[in-house]
């Protein structure tokens, strides 16, 4: 239906409907990206469980705001490598 055929009130209703749809998309898409896409992709890339990625990112955001969110995954990976390396060395010395 072309805009020229719409009356003033119909045009306003259409604009409100489109604005609501756009606002909904801007709310839903980031949530899907942060809750589904990123944990699966990041978790697979660094070999962390997706739930651990979500908990780490949320925890980093709560504790340190934006820098915490950005540094959560690298910090988790460093911690994971440290723990696995220490465990491997302790096993090599027969201490575990």
- Radius of gyration of the chain, Cα coordinates, nearest whole angstrom: 23
Please state, in angstroms and rounded to a whole number, the distance separating the CA atoms of residues 77 and 79: 5
Q: Could you tell me the CA-to-CA distances from 56 to 3, 66, 76, 89 in Å, in that order?
A: 49, 13, 7, 26
Q: Tokens 């259409």 belong to which residue? A: 14
pLDDT per residue as tens digits for the range 7-30: 778 888 888 888 888 888 888 888
The answer to whether the pTM exceeds 0.75 is no
pLDDT per residue as tens digits for the range 25-60: 888 888 888 778 878 887 788 888 888 988 998 999
Task: Report helix, strand or coil for 47.
Answer: coil
Length reported for the chain: 96
């Amino acid at each position: 239906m072309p805009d020229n055929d719409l009356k003033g009130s119909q045009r306003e209703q259409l604009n409100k409907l489109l604005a609501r749809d756009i606002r909904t998309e801007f709310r839903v898409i980031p949530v899907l990206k942060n809750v589904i896409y990123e944990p699966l992709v990041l978790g697979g890339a660094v070999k962390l469980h997706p739930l651990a990625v979500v908990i780490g990112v949320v925890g980093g955001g709560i504790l340190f705001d934006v820098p915490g969110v950005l540094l959560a995954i690298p910090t988790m990976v460093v911690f994971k490598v440290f723990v696995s390396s220490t465990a491997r060395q302790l096993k090599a010395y027969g201490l575990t």
